[in-house]
Amino acid sequence: MPKRKIIIAIDGYSSCGKSTLARQLAQQLHYRFIDSGAMYRAITLYFIREGVDLQQPEQVQQALANIHLSFELDEKNGACEIHLNGENVSRAIREMLVAEKVSEVAAIREVRVFAVAQQQAIGKGGGIVMDGRDIGTVVFPKAELKIFMTADPAVRVLRRFEELYPSNPAITLDEVRANIELRDYIDTNREESPLRRAEDARLLDNSNLSREEQLQKVLGWVSQLENASDKSA
């Protein structure tokens, strides 16, 4: 009997490796992977390019009405490429300029309503791994598996630095640290859907886990759940 395809919601702080885990899980399980942070980043990129004033709700609404987001799977590496109005912006959204503004944009109510509606539509049928900040609490409160990821701040800073350095050799550890600290602060203290651990989320601290160890641990959880779902089906 085919296994039921579940929803896996992964939340946690910036640079904990959420997307890496989500991508690996999706590849192993033949699920779809959606990086919800990429949606907020693409919206931010559009706002920057168009000079949208974040303090003006009408401007924000109007800009959102002109945004079409889609995800295309790169079959070769399993990467989930985000397209903004038909343009592949997967690289552009990783720029520091976007990172510096994205938490502010993601705190705007209209932006969240816009993004959450699309995330729920994409995940409706299950068979999805989505990572972000409010996936287990707001987007899919009934997800079969919820994971809350965390890691030592120093480990997170180093990981993010190593990710940014090749395209930006001028970047410093202090800049990366300041950006991560600020994003954590805004993400956990905003009024709209702040980052918090859902009561039923499993905690995954990967400070001392390799990617492979982490993957195997979570695959164990998934197979327990898929088997449990089979019995109740």
Q: Give contact residues for ligand DC (rule: CB under 6 A).
A: 14, 36-37, 40-41, 102-103, 106, 132-135, 183, 187
Which residue lies nearer to ligand DC by CB, 100 or 226? Answer: 100
Shortest distance in whole angstroms from residue 27 CB to ligand DC: 19
Shortest distance in whole angstroms from residue 42 CB to ligand DC: 10
Which residue lies nearer to ligand DC by CB, 115 or 218? Answer: 115
* C-alpha radius of gyration, the chain, whole number: 17
Shortest distance in whole angstroms from residue 98 CB to ligand DC: 9
Which residue lies nearer to ligand DC by CB, 40 or 148? Answer: 40
Helices 173-189 & 153-164 angle (0-180, nearest 10): 120
Contacts of 118 (CB under 8 A, 6+ apart): 39, 69
Shortest distance in whole angstroms from residue 75 CB to ligand DC: 23
What's the Cα-to-Cα distance from 187 to each of 16, 44, 105, 194, rounded to whole Å?
14, 15, 11, 6
Which residue lies nearer to ligand DC by CB, 30 or 142? Answer: 142
The C-alpha atoms of residue 96 and residue 233 are separated, in whole angstroms, by: 47
Shortest distance in whole angstroms from residue 66 CB to ligand DC: 20
Which residue lies nearer to ligand DC by CB, 72 or 230? Answer: 72
